[in-house]
Amino acid sequence: MQEAYRNLIVPDAHVALARQITDTLAPVGGASMYTTGLSPDGTAPATHWISSGFIDADYAQLLPLLEWTQDEEGNWIKTVVSAGYPQVIFDLYVAAIQVPDEDPVDPGFTVEDVTAMLDASDVTLEEPFAAMSRMGLQMVQVEEVLIGP
C-alpha cells in the first residue's frame, strides 16, 4: 500500500462525518484520525479537529489539496491544487457498506454533506503546527487529573 502525507483540519461541525468516512474508506489508519481537538485559545470545546501523517495514497487523491502563501501584507492566499472528489467519496462509501443482494443502503448523509465537509476542511502538505498557526488554532489542553493522595 502506498501512502501520502496530509495534514487535515476539519471544523467540529463536520468531524463526525469525516470520522465516519475515514473509518470506512481508510480503515488501516482511519480509526485514529481526528482525535486531537483545536480551538483559538487552546481551551475546550474544540472548534476544529486535526489529523496529520501518512494516509493511503488512493484515499489522499480523493481529498482536496490546498497550498497557502502570504502576500506582501501578510494575508494568506489560498491556491486549490485539487478540489477533491465528493461524489466519488460518496459512491465508494455507499459501495463499502452495501450488502450484496440487499436493498440499497442509506448512508445517512448526502453527497452535498460530503461537499460541504471538504469545502470547510483545510487539507495541506504543511506541518501541523504551521497550519495551526496560519489558522489561529491551538491544541485543546486537557486538564490533568491527579490520582492518589
Provide the CA 62 distance to its chain's centre, in angstroms: 12
Alpha-carbon torsion 43, 113, 22, 16, what sign? positive
pLDDT of residue 29: 66
Write phi, then psi, for 10 (nearest 5 degrees): -120, 135
Contact 111, 90 (CB under 8 A): yes
- In this prediction, residue 27 carries a pLDDT of 72
* Cα separations in angstroms, 121 against 3, 47, 48, 135: 20, 12, 9, 11
On the question of a cis peptide bond just before residue 45, with omega within 30 degrees of 0, the verdict is: yes
DSSP-based helix, strand, coil % in the chain, nearest 5: 35, 25, 35
pLDDT given for residue 146 in this prediction: 64
pLDDT, position 106: 92
pLDDT of residue 145: 58
Give the closest residue to 60 by CA, choosing from 79, 81, 38, 46.
81
Report CA Rg, the chain.
17
Show the CA angle centred on residue 106, arms to residues 105 and 112, nearest 5°.
Answer: 135
| Cβ(34)–Cβ(15) below 8 Å | yes
- pLDDT means over runs of 10, the chain (149 residues): 93 97 81 91 96 92 96 94 96 93 92 98 97 97 68
